[in-house]
Amino acid sequence: MMVDTMDMSAPVTRGELREELDRAFEQRLAPLVTKEHLEERLKTMASKEDLDTWGGALLEEIKKRIREELRSGMNEMKSELKSDLNVEFTKSIKSMEETFRKQVSTFDDKYMDLPKRVTRLEGAVFPDNQQDNKPATRSDDKPGAKAESKKARQVTHSSKPARSPKRR
């Protein structure tokens, strides 16, 4: 027996009510997801092992890129540091060279008149050798100079050299 749904005053049997409630319940459940549907969808999704594998590969790729970027940055910093150190070392070396030149020139200035003083001292100590104060000529220019220089070397080597005091 089919009852018009608009007529709410007509009596309904228990079976009809149950039948009507089952149909309404099925209509309401039809759009909802079923267990079979969920299992079918899960088959296409990644498993935990797949996610671990992909996550590990992704992590390694990230680490690799970070290493490459760090190497690149370190190489840039190294070249900048080399350049900066080169400039600083050059400045320091030039400064040390200038200081050294000043010290040497101060030392040289003290003894600039040394040849004149030695000549005057030799004149005072050896007055009879005034003729020998002429500019020295090469011993090879004189005849028989080789024999004289050989004798002079023998005399020089036979005597003991004077020992200089040790510096501490």
What are the pLDDT digits (tens) for 5-33? 567 788 888 998 899 899 998 888 777 77
- The pLDDT of residue 113: 84
- The pLDDT of residue 80: 95
Sequential DSSP letters for 65-113: HHHHHHHHHHHHHHHHHHHHHHHHHHHHHHHHHHHHHHHHHHHHHHTTT
**What pTM value is reported for the model?**
0.36
Which is more confidently placed, 118 or 157?
118
Mean pLDDT within 69-80: 95
Cβ-based neighbours of 148, under 8 Å, separated by 6 or more: 139, 142
The amino acid present at 15, given as its one-letter code, is: G
Query: From residue 134, how far is each of 55, 130, 146 by CA, in Å?
Result: 97, 8, 20
Confidence of residue 130 (pLDDT cuts 50, 70, 90): low
How much of the chain, in percent, has pLDDT values that exceed 70?
72
Does 3 score more than 90 pLDDT? no
Whether residue 12 contacts residue 3, with contact meaning beta carbons closer than 8 Å, is answered with yes
Task: Give, in degrees to the nearest 5, the angle at Cα 163 between 112 and 127.
Answer: 55
